[in-house]
Amino acid sequence: MEEIIKFFKTPLGINIITVVIAIIGIVIISKFIKRIIPKHIADTSSKYRARKLVNIIGYVTAIVVILVVFSSQLSALNVVLGVAGAGVAFAFQEVIASFAGYLVLHSSSFFKVGDRVMLGGIKGDVIDIGLLRTSLMETGDWINGDRYNGRITKVANSFIFKAPVHNYSGDFPFLWDEIHIPIKTHCDYVYAKEKFLDILMEAQGDFVQVAQEHWDNMTAKYLVENARVDPFVFMRFDENWITLTLRYVVHYNKRGGTKDWIYEQVLSTIRNSDGKLEVASAAFEITAFPNK
C-alpha cells in the first residue's frame, strides 16, 4: 500500500490521477449537457445530432487532456511510440478506417440519420451512425416492397471508402417509378393512354410541383439534365400485345402505397371501359397432337 501511495506521489502518478479526474469531469459534464438538450431542442433529428456533437467534443477533449498531461513523458518515448503506432495502425486498420468514415459521414453529405440508403446490397433507413458502425432498419429481403422487415443491420463505416453508397433520400428525396400494363392489340390505345394519364395526375396532385422544386435545386447544384418529373404514359407493342408504361415520381417511402392505389384505379378503368380495354396475356395455340 505504501508503494502505491509513493507511486502516486511521483510525477507519473500525479499525471495519471489528473487524467482520471479530468475524464470523470468530462463524462459528468457530457451527461449533464445531454440531459438538458431535450429541454431546449424539440426536433428529434436535431436532438440526435446535438448528442452526437457532445460525444465528439468529449472524446476530443479527453485526447487533448491526455496529450497535454503526458507531453513531457511522450517526448522521451518517440521512437517506441512510433514503432508501436505502426504496429497498432496495421492491426487496427479496419477500426481506424471505420472511425475515419465516422468523421467523414458527420462532415459530408453521404447520408444522415433518417435517410434511406443501400450499403453493400443492404437497403434500409439509417437509425444511428456510431463511431465504428452505422445501424440500418432493414427493408425488403423476404418482405416484398420497401417495408421494414424488423431486422437491424450494422455496417462498418469503412464501407463508404470501398463501395458505392446509394442514397434514396438525399438532395432529391423522390424516385421515378413505373408500372407496365399489357393490353390486347385491338384495344383503343389512345383511350387507354388518356385514362391512365388521368390516374397518374390524380395520384400525383401537387406532389409534381414539390418534386419539380427539388429537381430545380438538383440542376443548380449538379451537372445533370433537366429531367421530366411530371407523369406520362408511353407505349410499345409487338405481335402479342401493346404495353403501356405509366411513369411517375413518388416519395421514397410511399412507393408501395402509391403503386397499390394506381393498380386499383387501372383495374377499375379497364373493367368500366365497355370492352375498349382488355388485359393481354400469353396464349398458346396447339396445331397438332402427337400420335399415340
Enclosing H/E stretch for 119:
strand 116-119
Q: Could you name the CATH architecture of 174-271?
A: 2-Layer Sandwich (3.30)
Over residues 122-132, the mean pLDDT reads 83
Q: In what order do the strands lie in the sheet with 242-251?
A: 174-183, 242-251, 232-237
Range in 186-190, 200-204, 224-228, 234-238 with the lowest mean pLDDT: 224-228
CA 181, 176, 281 angle in degrees (round to 5)? 15
Rounded CA-CA distance 113/136 in Å is 9
Q: Residue 154: how many CB atoms within 10 A of its CB? A: 13
Cα four-point dihedral sign 246, 251, 255, 259: negative
pLDDT band, very low/low/confident/very high, at 160 (cuts 50, 70, 90) = confident
Over residues 181-196, the mean pLDDT reads 87
Range in 36-45, 84-93, 224-233 with the lowest mean pLDDT: 84-93
From-to residues of CATH 3.30.70.100 in the chain: 174-271
From-to residues of CATH 2.30.30.60 in the chain: 110-167
**Residue 138, C-alpha cell as written in the block:** 432493414
Rounded CA-CA distance 31/55 in Å is 9
Over residues 162-171, the mean pLDDT reads 79
The overall average pLDDT reported for the chain is 79
Out of 56-60, 67-71, 222-226, the most confident range is: 56-60
CB 115 within 8 A of CB 139: no
Over residues 27-56, the mean pLDDT reads 79
CA dist list (Å): 225 to 168, 215, 217, 221, 229 = 19, 10, 12, 11, 12
**Residue 183, C-alpha cell as written in the block:** 393490353
pLDDT in tens, 144-156: 777 778 888 888 8
Over residues 63-70, the mean pLDDT reads 77
pLDDT in tens, 215-259: 887 777 777 777 778 888 888 887 778 889 998 888 887 888 888
Cα four-point dihedral sign 252, 254, 260, 266: negative
The percent of residues in the chain predicted with pLDDT above 90, rounded, is 1
The amino acid occupying position 179 is I
Rounded CA-CA distance 179/200 in Å is 11
What is the full DSSP assignment across 181-247?
EEE-TTS-HHHHHHHHHHHHHHHHTTHHHHHHHHHHHHHHHSS------S-EEEEEE-SS-EEEEEE
pLDDT band, very low/low/confident/very high, at 75 (cuts 50, 70, 90) = low
Over residues 110-136, the mean pLDDT reads 83
Over residues 19-45, the mean pLDDT reads 82
pLDDT band, very low/low/confident/very high, at 202 (cuts 50, 70, 90) = confident
Range in 20-29, 62-71, 74-83 with the lowest mean pLDDT: 74-83
| Alpha helix positions (H), the chain | 2-8, 11-40, 44-69, 71-75, 78-91, 93-107, 189-204, 207-221, 255-271
Selection from 174, 184, 195, 188 nearest residue 262 by Cα: 195
pLDDT at 84: 57
Q: Residue 221: how many CB atoms within 10 A of its CB? A: 10
- Residue 57 in this model has a pLDDT that exceeds 80: yes
Q: Could you name the CATH architecture of 110-167?
A: Roll (2.30)
pLDDT at 137: 86
**134: exposed, middle or buried (Cβ count in 10 Å: 0-12, 13-18, 19+):** buried
pLDDT band, very low/low/confident/very high, at 141 (cuts 50, 70, 90) = confident
